[in-house]
């Protein structure tokens, strides 16, 4: 009986370690919000709301890394889109955060919160819900030393013809180690994820980052010429598993956590 406390201590330590491991390996959820805008006035109003209300509320809740991005100046949607990337640990967090925004947000930004139907702060909001791939269960922040205004964040969406074919492309990223290939070539991915609710399903989305446009082009050239990619993409089991690719080249705002 004198050894009972030691046994209990061991079991407690094991339980804590197991819980921490489960939290570390649990796949995160992400939301991508796309604010669609008509003009500069709406863009400014949404910027103020995101900077002074949404992000502070998320930080208070414990969500420390929220990305806010806009299309490059050369993009036809420049000034007409704002992309917001929000990580969640669970669907409960998703609902809790949105409830907090709807209540705490009333304390300011009346031009957004209390806007009239004749003068809305945006045209529409598109919301995409995602779950991280097992091969990269948690979002990772890229490391940059250059000016924020030079950086490129590339958001990609890969659509597939059917659900079965889509699962094949997801397998290519995970078991086929396409994720590992991106990592080896220094793409600094932020996330890879299944879209579990969105308007382009079945599709996956992922985000990679680069110091500037030249770096972006150099990395993709290296990717297409890499022997591992040529071998992987040439395997019979991975043929025709992507039917459409949408690419968004973005820059972080000055108030983005990324």
The answer to pTM > 0.85 is yes
CB burial of residue 37 (10 Å; 0-12, 13-18, 19+):
buried
pLDDT for res 14: 43
Q: Are 4 and 110 in contact (CB under 8 A)?
A: no
Residue 145 lies in a domain: yes
Residue 22 lies in a domain: no
What's the CA gap between 14 and 20, in Å, rounded? Answer: 10
For residue 65, list its beta bridge partners.
none
pLDDT per position as a tens digit, 135-164? 999 999 999 999 999 999 999 999 999 999
Q: What is the mean pLDDT of the chain?
A: 88
Residue 20 lies in a domain: no
pLDDT for res 5: 55
By residue range, what is the domain housing residue 102?
27-252
Q: Report angle CA 102, 106, 107 to the nearest 5 degrees.
A: 135
pLDDT per position as a tens digit, 41-74? 999 999 999 999 899 988 988 888 999 999 998 8
CA distances from 141 to 2, 10, 55, 106, 107 (A): 49, 35, 17, 31, 31
Residue 5 lies in a domain: no
3 state SS for 67-104: EEEEECCCCCCCCCEEEEEEEECCHHHHHHHHHHHHHH
Residues in the chain: 258
pLDDT per position as a tens digit, 164-215? 999 999 999 999 999 999 999 999 999 999 999 999 999 999 999 999 999 9
Total count of domains within the chain: 1
CATH of the domain at 156: 3.30.70.100
Residue 204 lies in a domain: yes
pLDDT for res 108: 57
């Amino acid at each position: 009986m004198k050894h009972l406390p030691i046994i209990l201590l061991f079991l407690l330590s094991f339980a804590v370690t197991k819980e921490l491991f489960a939290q570390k390996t649990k796949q995160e959820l992400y939301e991508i919000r796309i604010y669609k805008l008509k003009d500069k006035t709406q863009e400014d109003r949404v910027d103020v709301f995101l900077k002074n209300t949404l992000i502070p509320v998320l930080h208070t809740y414990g969500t420390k890394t929220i990305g806010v991005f806009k299309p490059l100046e050369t993009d036809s949607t420049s000034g007409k889109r704002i992309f917001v990337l929000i990580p969640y640990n669970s669907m409960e967090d998703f609902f809790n955060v949105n409830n907090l925004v709807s209540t705490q947000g009333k304390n300011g930004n009346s031009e957004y919160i209390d806007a009239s139907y004749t003068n809305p702060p945006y045209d529409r909001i598109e919301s995409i819900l995602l779950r991280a791939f097992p091969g990269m269960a948690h979002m990772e922040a890229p490391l940059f030393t250059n000016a924020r205004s030079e950086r490129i964040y590339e958001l990609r969406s890969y659509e597939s013809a059917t659900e079965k074919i889509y699962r094949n492309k997801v397998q290519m990223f995970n078991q086929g180690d396409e994720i590992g290939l991106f990592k080896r070539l220094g793409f600094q991915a932020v996330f890879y994820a299944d879209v579990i609710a969105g308007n382009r399903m079945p599709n996956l989305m992922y985000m990679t980052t680069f110091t500037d446009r030249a770096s972006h082009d150099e990395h993709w050239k290296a990717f297409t010429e890499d022997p591992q990619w040529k071998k992987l993409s040439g395997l019979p089991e991975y043929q025709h598993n992507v039917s459409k690719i949408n690419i968004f080249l973005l820059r972080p705002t000055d108030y983005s956590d990324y």
